[in-house]
Copies of this chain bind each other. A is one copy, B any other.
């Protein structure tokens, strides 16, 4: 990037996403705290102060990354909803979709989740907005299912929060009890049918499994 030119918006965007890639890689490797702006700048082959021409703060890199990724996910979820009328199957597909989010994003998501109350107002708002949009999108599936009589009446906000959070906890655990796909299927089975042995004593219910 020579000095005297004016960057096109495309070039600006490319540079930003390049920075995000580097930053996420470092954060996934060493944690948010221990990843420094100097390090990111070095790997991006620019001076630290140039970094601040693209992102106002270190926090903003994380917020921006999540915004972009969530926009993408929300669009995918809308497509899933449009093509899958059965609420239970739709839920399964939405949750499986979330498994495809790359590892680095999950780390940052986790960090933002824990720290979001203490971010600057602007970042808090931006995160809230995108999170609510995702939340509300999934909520329509739950409420659609209730309207159809497929799901019982529940606190749909609570259900959605539990679902999203459970996905995170599957994916984030350092002590997995099975493959991510298997844990995910089992999780959805629990959400749909519970853990009680209500049908009798046959103790091997085997609900349909989505993954391979």
* Residue of B88, B146, B162, B201 touching A166 (CB-CB under 8 A): B162
Contacts of A74 in B (CB 8 A): none
CB within 8 Å of B: which of A142-159?
A: 142, 145-146, 149-155, 157-159
Q: Please judge, given known A-B contacts A31-B118, A33-B118, whether A194 and B190 are in contact too, CB under 8 Å.
A: yes
Complexed CA–CA distance, A176 and B31 (Å): 29
Query: Could you tell me how many residues of chain A have their Cβ less than 8 Å away from some Cβ of chain B?
Result: 56
Main SS of the interface on chain A?
helix
Complexed CA–CA distance, A168 and B113 (Å): 12
Contacts of A154 in B (CB 8 A): 186, 190, 195
* Residue of B34, B113, B197, B205 touching A150 (CB-CB under 8 A): B197
Interface pair A196/B115, CB less than 8 Å apart: no
* Residue of B117, B149, B177, B196 touching A157 (CB-CB under 8 A): B177
Interface pair A196/B193, CB less than 8 Å apart: yes
The 8 A CB mask of A163-194 against B (1 = contact, 0 = none) is 00110111001110110001100110011111
A14 at the interface (CB under 8 A from B): no
Q: Please judge, given known A-B contacts A186-B158, A193-B194, A194-B191, whether A203 and B152 are in contact too, CB under 8 Å.
A: yes
Complex: chain B residue closest to A35, CB-CB? B118
Contacts of A46 in B (CB 8 A): none
Contacts of A152 in B (CB 8 A): 195-197, 203-205
A161 at the interface (CB under 8 A from B): yes
